[in-house]
C-alpha cells in the first residue's frame, strides 16, 4: 500500500526540542510551561535543579552560561555567550543523572563508589566524541569549537544553530516528499562520506540525531558518542551501542570486522524509509529471525510503500541499503550511489548539482554521490526545481544556476584584470566551489594575481610550488613567491620563508634572518611562529636566553591552542621560569595540552596527579589513571607500566590483577625492565595467577639479558635449584658472577658459597672469602656471620678471634641467629671480646627466642652462674633490642 500524500508543513514551534542524547544546538524561545487557573493561563519559567546557574562562567571565563537548551540521559546543553568572539555557542555538559549528580560546589560526582568507574568511563567517551567531531569540517557535521574539563566533568562547545531535529519535523508531517527528503539526505550522505573517508563510522544515524537548520533547512548530523574508527577497539571489538529500528544486525554484536560504512548505509536507508512510510522500519533482529526461518521479510519494501509517490530509483536505493545481511548491502557510499546512478539522463543533472556543491572532495566521490542525486531526482522529475511552462512569471533559477552565474561574473572580472577576482577564482578552483577542483587552473589564476602583486596569491603560489600541487615541485620558485608575499606582510608566507631560511631549503641557510622573519610572523599571529620564537628565547638559540620573553611568546601560542606551547607554559609555571611558580596554573596548562593530544603533557600530568595525597587525593589519582591509560594506548611504555602499577595497587582505580598483568606484559614485551621483573616475580610466587616457573624464568632471563643484577641473581638460583629450567651449576656460576660483579650482594654470597663448596667451579677458599667480604661490607648479615666463622676457624684467612667477633657482632645486630649464638659464646668465654655474662645472656636469649636449641641450652647453663641482678639486666637488654628491631621494621614498611 502506498504512502499517504505529503501534508502541508505546519508553522515551526517556538519551543526548543532536545534530542534523546542531549545534543541540542538550538532554541528560539525559552522553555515554558503553563499553569491554568480557571480561564486564565499563566506562563511560568521552568527551573532545572541539575543545571549550572545562569551567568556561570566556564573555561577560564571564556563562556557565560545563559540558559538550558535541553537535557538528555547523558547531560545538559546550554546556550552560552562567547565573551571573546562576541557570539553564541551551544555547550554540552556530561551529566548522566542515573549515575551522577551535581554537588553544592557545582562539581559532578558519581552517586556511589560502585558507579564511579562507570562515570569516569562515560566521561572519557564524551571527550572521545568531542575529539572525533573536532577532526571533521563539513556543513552536515556538527562543528565542535573546543572541549575541556571543569567541575570534575567534561564539556564540548559547538557552533550554535537554530532549528529542530528531523524527528520533530517527521512527528509534525509524518512523511516528506522526495524533494524535501533529498534536500536533507543528500548533504547528509556527503557528510557521512567524509567520516568514512577518514576511517570513521557514526553508528547512530537516526532522526533524533539529524538536526535541521531553521535558516535554510540544511541538515547537521549530531551525537558522535557511538562513533568509532572502523578497526574498532584494541581487542578488535566495538561496544554494542545502538538504536533499534535504525541499527543493522551486525551492530548487535561487538565484532569490529562486521561493522563498516555499510553499517551507516543501513541507518541512512532506515531514516529514508521513515521519511517515506511515516513509521519506523521493523527492527533488524525480527527481520533476521524471519530470514533464518525461511519466512518472508516482515518489512514491507520501500518500492511497495512509496509506489506512486516516489521515484522507483529512490525506492530501490532505500531497499538496497536495508538489506539485512551486511555482505549483500553496498560496502561503501560510492558503491551505493553507483548501484542506482545508471538511470537514463542522470549525468546531465549530476553535473548541475556538482557545480553548486561547496567544499572540496575528491572528484570520483563527488561524481558518484551526485550520480545518485541525478538518478533519484531525475526519476521524480525536474518540475521540483523549475516552474512549469504553464506557470506565471519568470522561471526561478536553480541553486546550481545561481552558482554558475556568480562564477561567470567572477571570471569576467578576473579576465578584465581585477586582482581580487583572480585570487578568488584561484581559490574556487582549488577548493571546488562552483567548479570542479582543478589545481592547475588554480595555479594559473594565482600566478596572474601574484604577478600583479596580490600577497595572498603569492603565498598560495609559494605553497603550490612547495607541495607540487597544480605545478611542478620547485623549492626555489616556492621561496621566491613566499619572499614576495612576506615582504608585503602576509603572515603565513613570513612563517614559511622563516622556515626555509632555517633549513636552507631553496635558499642559503641563515638562522638570524630566519628568526627575524619568524618574529614578524609571530607578531602577525601565526601560532607556530610564536612557538618557534618562544623556543629560541627559551634555549638561547639565535636570541639571548630570556625566560620572560620566552614565557610571553609561549603564552600567546598557547592561547591559540598550540599543545606544545601549553606544555612549555606548564613547565615554566612549575619551575618558576619567567614567571612566579604556580602549580595550579601548571596543571591547568598541562591538562589543556593533554586534551589536545600532547603525549608529553598526558604523561607529565599523570605523574603529578598519581603522587597526590591529602585533599582530593582520590579524584586526582583517578584522573592520573585516565591520562596514563590514554598515553598507554598511544604506545608509551612507561605509561603502560604506570597504568599496570595503578591497577595492581588500586591507585585511582579498583584493583585489577588481570588488567595489571595485561599492561605489565605490554610494557615487558617492549623491554620495560621493571615490568619484566614484576612479571617474573608474579609468576614465580603465583600472585593473582597460577604459579608458572617456566614463565618466571622467561621474564627473569629477558631482564637479566638487559643487565639487571637482580634478574641475573635469580637466573643463577633457577639454574642452581632447577626452578623453571634444568639444573646447570656452571650456568648458575656464570649468572651469579655477572650479578656479583655489578654489586648484587645476594649474588656475591651465592657466588662465595659456590667457591666455598666447589659447586660449578673449582673450590677456592680465598675467592670465597673475597666475595663473602664484598657482601659483608654491603651489610649482608649472612655474609657477615659466615665471615666471622671463617675467621674463627681460620678457613681461607689467618685465624683471628677478634675479627671473628667483629663480624659476628654486625651479623647479630641484623638478626642472624647463628651469629647471635656464637657471639653469646664469645662473651661467655671471653674469646675475642671482654668476658661479659650479661651480653652473653642477651645474645643467647635472642637466638633462643627464635628457636635455636643450642642457644637455649647455653643460656640455661649460664643462668646458673649469674646473679638475679645480672639476669634482670640481660632480660632488659633483650627486650630493648627486640623493641628497636620492631621500630626499624615499622619504619621500613612505611617508607616509600
* CA dist 51 → 61, 75, 77, 719 (Å): 18, 9, 9, 67
Question: Looking at 160-174, 231-245, 705-719, 748-762, which range is the least confident one?
Answer: 231-245
Task: Tell whether residue 92 is among the known ligand binding residues.
Answer: yes
Q: What CA–CA distances, in Å, run from 701 to 248, 533, 681, 713, 776?
A: 50, 48, 12, 10, 27
Per DSSP bridges, beta strands 63-72 and 75-82 are: antiparallel
Closest CA to 287 of 242, 254, 328, 322: 322
Q: Is residue 266 scored above 60 in pLDDT?
A: yes
Contact of 579 with 554, CB cutoff 8 Å: no
Residue ranges, CATH 1.25.40.10, the chain: 395-485
CA distances from 518 to 540, 563, 564, 635 (A): 15, 19, 17, 34
* Percent above pLDDT 70 for the chain: 83
> In the prediction, which pLDDT does 886 show?
86
Mean pLDDT within 799-827: 94
Residue of higher predicted confidence among 275 and 249? 275
Whether residue 781 contacts residue 811, with contact meaning beta carbons closer than 8 Å, is answered with yes
Spatial separation of the C-alpha atoms in residues 156 and 701, rounded to whole Å = 49
Per the prediction, the chain carries an average pLDDT of 83
Residues 219-223, mean pLDDT to the nearest whole number: 84
Q: What is the pLDDT of residue 368?
A: 40
At residue 887, the pLDDT reads: 87
Residue range(s) of every CATH 3.30.200.20 domain in the chain: 46-161
Other CB atoms within a 10 A radius of the CB of residue 281 amount to 23
Q: What is the CATH number of domain 395-485?
A: 1.25.40.10
Highest mean pLDDT among 373-377, 697-701, 884-888: 697-701
Dist. CA 209–CA 223, nearest whole Å: 6
Distance between CA atoms of residues 170 and 165, nearest Å: 9
Segment (H or E) for 869: helix 868-894
Top-tier CATH class for 166-386: mainly alpha
Cα dihedral 390, 391, 397, 401, rounded to 10, equals: -10
Q: Residue 3: what pLDDT?
A: 39
Predicted confidence band at 346 (pLDDT cuts at 50, 70, 90)?
A: very low
- For residue 234, the model assigns a pLDDT of 41
Question: Taking the alpha carbons of 434, 439, 441, 442 in that order, is the dihedral positive or negative?
Answer: positive
Q: Mind listing the pLDDT tens digit for each residue in 866-875?
A: 999 999 999 9
pLDDT tier for residue 896 given thresholds of 50, 70 and 90: low
Report the distance separating Cα 253 and Cα 639, nearest Å.
31
Q: What mean pLDDT comes out for the span 172-192?
A: 91
610-636 confidence digits (pLDDT tens): 887 776 888 899 999 999 999 998 899
Quick one: average pLDDT of 334-347? 58
Tell me what the mean pLDDT of segment 107-117 comes to.
87
Length of the chain: 896
Return the CATH number of 46-161, one of 3.30.200.20, 3.40.430.10, 3.40.50.300, 3.40.50.170.
Answer: 3.30.200.20
Which of 21-35, 366-380, 464-478 has the weakest average pLDDT?
Answer: 21-35
**Grid coordinates belonging to 45:** 519559567
Q: For residue range 672-730, list pLDDT tens digits in order.
A: 999 999 999 999 999 888 999 999 999 999 999 999 999 999 999 999 999 999 999 99
| Whether pLDDT at 757 is above 90 | yes
Return the ∠ at Cα 734 (arms to 730 and 736), rounded to 5°.
115
Which residues face 220 on adjacent strands?
211
**pLDDT of residue 892 exceeding 80:** no
CA 818 to chain centre: 57
pLDDT score, position 743: 96
Give the CA-trace dihedral at 636, 603, 62, 19, to 10 degrees. Answer: 50
Beta-strand runs (E) in 559-641 = none
**Cα–Cα distance measured from residue 544 to residue 492, given in angstroms and rounded to the nearest whole number:** 25
Instruction: Give the range among 36-45, 409-418, 650-659 with minimum mean pLDDT.
Output: 36-45
Can you list the alpha helix ranges (DSSP code H) found in 214-345? 261-277, 284-292, 302-305, 312-321, 333-339
Question: Which among 407, 475, 398, 476 is positioned nearest to 441, based on CA atoms?
Answer: 407
| C-alpha span between 512 and 514 (Å, rounded) | 5
Contact 307, 283 (CB under 8 A): no
Query: Number of helices and strands (H, E) in the chain?
Result: 37, 15
Question: Which of the four pLDDT bands, split at 50, 70 and 90, describes residue 47?
Answer: low
User: Is the model's pLDDT at 376 over the cut of 70?
Assistant: no
> What are the φ and ψ backbone dihedral angles of 505, each rounded to 5 degrees?
-85, 105
**Which one has a higher pLDDT value, 265 or 84?**
265
Q: Cell 556511589, residue?
A: 112
Question: Which secondary-structure segment (H or E) carries 487?
Answer: helix 475-487
Mean pLDDT, residues 303-318 taken together: 88
Confidence (pLDDT) at 360: 40
3-state secondary structure of 321: helix
Helices (H), 135-260: 166-173, 178-197
CA dihedral 758, 761, 767, 771 (to 10 degrees): -90
Mapped to the 3 state alphabet, what secondary structure does 582-641 carry?
Answer: CHHHHHHHHHHHHHCCCHHHHHHHHHHHHCCCCCCHHHHHHHHHHHHHHHHHCCCHHHHH
pLDDT digits (tens, 9 = 90+) for 484-513: 999 999 999 999 999 999 988 888 999 999
How many Å apart are CA 736 and CA 730, to the nearest integer?
Answer: 10
d(CA 862, CA 874): 11
Dmax (CA) for the chain in angstroms is 136
Question: Among 732, 739, 800, which Cα is nearest to 771's?
Answer: 739
Nearest to 290 by CA among 280, 300, 303: 300
pLDDT, residue 579, reads 93
Model confidence at 11, pLDDT cuts 50, 70, 90, reads very low
Query: For residue 99, what pLDDT is reported?
Result: 86
pLDDT exceeds 80 at position 38: no
Give the pLDDT band of residue 328 (cuts 50, 70, 90).
Answer: confident
637-649 vs 617-633: helix crossing angle, rounded to 10: 140
Of 828, 825, 791, which Cα lies nearest the Cα of 806?
Answer: 791
Return d(Cα 358, Cα 541) in angstroms, integer.
45
For residues 185 and 269, what is the distance between their CA atoms, to the nearest angstrom? 10
Query: Is pLDDT above 50 for 208?
Result: yes
Supply the DSSP symbol for 310. B
Q: What is the pLDDT confidence band of residue 201, given thresholds at 50, 70 and 90?
A: confident
Calpha distance 501→515 (Å, rounded): 9
Instruction: Dump pLDDT digits (tens) for 230-253.
Output: 544 444 444 445 788 898 988 876
Per-residue model confidence (pLDDT) at position 292: 66
Q: H or E element: which one contains 345?
A: none
Residue 155 near residue 91 (C-beta atoms within 8 A)? yes
> What local confidence, expressed as pLDDT, does residue 235 receive?
43
- Nearest residue to 678 (alpha-carbon basis) of 634, 654, 647, 651: 647
pLDDT at position 879 is 92
d(CA 548, CA 577): 7
The pLDDT value given to residue 395: 53
Are the C-beta atoms of residues 64 and 80 closer than 8 Å to each other? yes
At residue 402, the pLDDT reads 62
Residue 864: predicted pLDDT: 94
Amino acid at each position: 500500500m502506498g504512502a499517504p500524500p505529503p501534508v502541508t508543513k505546519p508553522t515551526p514551534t517556538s519551543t526548543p526540542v532536545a534530542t534523546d542524547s542531549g545534543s541540542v544546538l538550538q532554541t528560539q524561545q525559552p522553555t515554558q510551561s503553563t499553569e491554568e487557573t480557571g480561564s486564565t493561563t499563566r506562563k511560568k519559567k521552568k527551573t532545572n535543579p541539575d543545571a549550572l546557574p545562569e551567568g556561570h562562567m566556564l573555561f577560564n571565563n571564556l563562556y557565560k552560561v545563559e540558559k538550558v537548551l535541553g537535557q538528555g540521559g547523558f547531560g545538559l546543553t546550554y546556550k552560552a555567550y562567547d565573551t571573546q568572539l562576541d557570539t553564541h555557542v551551544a555547550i554540552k555538559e556530561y551529566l548522566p543523572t542515573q549515575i551522577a549528580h551535581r554537588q553544592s560546589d557545582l562539581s559532578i560526582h558519581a552517586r556511589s563508589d560502585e558507579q564511579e568507574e562507570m562515570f569516569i568511563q562515560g566521561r572519557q567517551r564524551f571527550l572521545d566524541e568531542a575529539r572525533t567531531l573536532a577532526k571533521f569540517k563539513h556543513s552536515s557535521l556538527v562543528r565542535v569549537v573546543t572541549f575541556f574539563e571543569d567541575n570534575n566533568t567534561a564539556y564540548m562547545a559547538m557552533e550554535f544553530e537554530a532549528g529542530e531535529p528531523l524527528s520533530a519535523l517527521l512527528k509534525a508531517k509524518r512523511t516528506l516528499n522526495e524533494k524535501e527528503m533529498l534536500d536533507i539526505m543528500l548533504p547528509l550522505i556527503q557528510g557521512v562520506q567524509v567520516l568514512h573517508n577518514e576511517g570513521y563510522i557514526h553508528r547512530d544515524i537516526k532522526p533524533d540525531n539529524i538536526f535541521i537548520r531553521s535558516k535554510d533547512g540544511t541538515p547537521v548530523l549530531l551525537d558522535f558518542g557511538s562513533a568509532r574508527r572502523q578497526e574498532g577497539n584494541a581487542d578488535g571489538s566495538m561496544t554494542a551501542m545502538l538504536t533499534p529500528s535504525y541499527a543493522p544486525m551486525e551492530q548487535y554484536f561487538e565484532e569490529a570486522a562486521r561493522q563498516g560504512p555499510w553499517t551507516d548505509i543501513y541507518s541512512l536507508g532506515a531514516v529514508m524509509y521513515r521519511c517515506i512510510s511515516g513509521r519506523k522500519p521493523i527492527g533488524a533482529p525480527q527481520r533476521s529471525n524471519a530470514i533464518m526461518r525461511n519466512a518472508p521479510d516482515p518489512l514491507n519494501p520501500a518500492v511497495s510503500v512509496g509506489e506512486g509517490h516516489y521515484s522507483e530509483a529512490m525506492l530501490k536505493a532505500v531497499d538496497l541499503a536495508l538489506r539485512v545481511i551486511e555482505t549483500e548491502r553496498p560496502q561503501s557510499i560510492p558503491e551505493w550511489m553507483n548501484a542506482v546512478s545508471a538511470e537514463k539522463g542522470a549525468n546531465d543533472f549530476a553535473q548541475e548539482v556538482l557545480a553548486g556543491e561547496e567544499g572540496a572532495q575528491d572528484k570520483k566521490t563527488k561524481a558518484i554521490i551526485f550520480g545518485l542525486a541525478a538518478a533519484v531526482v531525475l526519476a521524480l522529475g525536474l518540475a521540483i526545481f523549475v516552474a512549469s511552462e504553464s506557470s506565471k512569471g519568470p522561471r526561478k533559477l536553480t541553486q546550481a544556476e545561481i552558482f554558475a552565474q556568480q562564477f561567470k561574473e567572477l571570471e569576467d572580472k578576473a579576465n578584465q584584470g581585477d586582482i581580487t577576482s583572480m585570487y578568488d577564482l584561484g581559490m574556487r578552483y582549488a577548493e571546488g566551489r562552483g567548479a570542479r577542483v582543478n589545481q592547475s587552473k588554480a595555479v594559473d589564476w594565482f600566478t596572474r594575481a601574484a604577478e600583479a602583486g596580490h600577497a595572498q596569491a603569492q603565498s598560495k603560489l609559494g605553497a603550490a610550488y612547495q607541495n607540487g600541487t597544480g605545478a611542478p615541485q620547485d623549492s626555489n620558485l616556492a621561496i621566491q613567491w613566499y619572499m614576495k608575499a612576506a615582504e608585503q606582510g602576509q603572515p603565513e608566507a613570513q612563517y614559511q620563508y622563516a622556515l626555509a631560511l632555517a633549513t636552507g631549503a631553496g635558499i642559503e641557510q641563515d638562522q638570524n634572518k630566519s628568526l627575524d622573519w619568524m618574529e614578524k610572523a609571530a607578531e602577525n599571529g601565526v601560532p607556530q611562529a610564536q612557538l618557534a620564537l618562544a623556543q629560541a628565547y627559551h634555549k638561547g638559540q639565535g636570541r639571548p636566553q630570556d625566560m620572560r620573553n620566552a614565557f610571553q611568546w609561549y603564552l600567546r601560542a598557547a592561547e591559540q591552542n598550540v599543545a606544545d606551547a601549553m606544555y612549555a607554559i606548564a613547565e615554566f609555571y612549575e619551575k618558576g621560569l619567567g614567571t612566579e611558580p604556580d602549580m595550579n596554573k601548571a596543571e591547568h596548562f598541562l591538562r589543556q595540552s593533554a586534551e589536545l593530544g600532547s603525549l608529553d603533557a598526558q604523561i607529565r600530568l599523570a605523574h603529578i596527579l598519581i603522587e597526590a595525597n591529602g585533599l582530593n587525593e582520590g579524584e586526582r589519582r583517578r584522573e592520573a589513571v585516565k591520562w596514563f591509560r590514554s598515553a598507554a594506548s598511544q604506545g608509551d611504555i612507561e605509561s603502560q607500566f604506570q597504568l599496570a602499577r595503578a591497577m595492581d595497587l588500586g591507585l585511582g582505580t579498583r584493583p585489577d590483577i588481570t588488567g595489571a598483568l595485561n599492561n605489565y606484559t605490554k610494557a615487558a614485551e617492549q623491554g620495560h625492565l621493571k615490568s619484566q621483573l614484576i612479571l617474573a616475580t608474579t609468576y614465580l610466587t603465583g600472585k593473582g595467577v597460577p604459579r608458572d616457573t617456566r614463565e618466571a624464568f622467561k621474564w627473569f632471563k629477558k631482564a637479566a639479558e638487559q643487565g639487571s643484577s637482580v634478574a641475573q641473581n635469580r637466573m643463577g638460583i633457577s639454574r642452581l635449584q632447577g626452578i623453571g629450567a634444568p639444573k646447570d651449576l656452571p650456568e648458575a656460576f656464570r649468572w651469579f658472577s655477572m650479578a656479583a660483579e655489578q654489586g648484587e650482594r645476594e649474588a656475591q654470597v651465592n657466588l662465595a658459597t659456590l667457591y666455598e663448596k666447589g659447586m660449578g667451579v673449582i673450590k677456592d677458599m680465598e675467592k670465597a672469602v673475597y666475595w663473602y667480604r664484598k657482601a659483608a661490607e654491603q651489610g649482608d648479615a649472612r655474609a657477615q656471620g659466615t665471615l666471622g666463622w671463617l675467621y674463627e676457624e681460620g678457613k681461607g684467612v689467618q685465624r683471628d678471634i677478634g675479627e671473628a667477633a667483629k663480624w659476628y657482632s654486625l651479623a647479630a645486630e641484623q638478626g642472624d641467629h647463628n651469629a647471635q649464638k656464637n657471639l653469646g659464646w664469645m662473651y661467655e668465654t671471653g674469646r675475642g671480646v671482654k668476658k661479659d655474662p650479661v651480653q652473653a645472656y642477651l645474645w643467647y636469649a635472642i637466638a633462643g627466642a627464635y628457636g635455636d636449641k643450642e642457644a637455649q641450652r647455653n643460656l640455661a647453663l649460664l643462668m646458673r652462674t649469674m646473679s638475679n641482678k645480672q639476669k634482670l639486666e640481660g632480660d632488659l637488654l633483650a627486650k630493648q633490642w627486640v623493641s628497636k628491631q620492631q621500630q626499624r621494621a615499622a619504619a621500613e614498611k612505611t617508607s616509600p
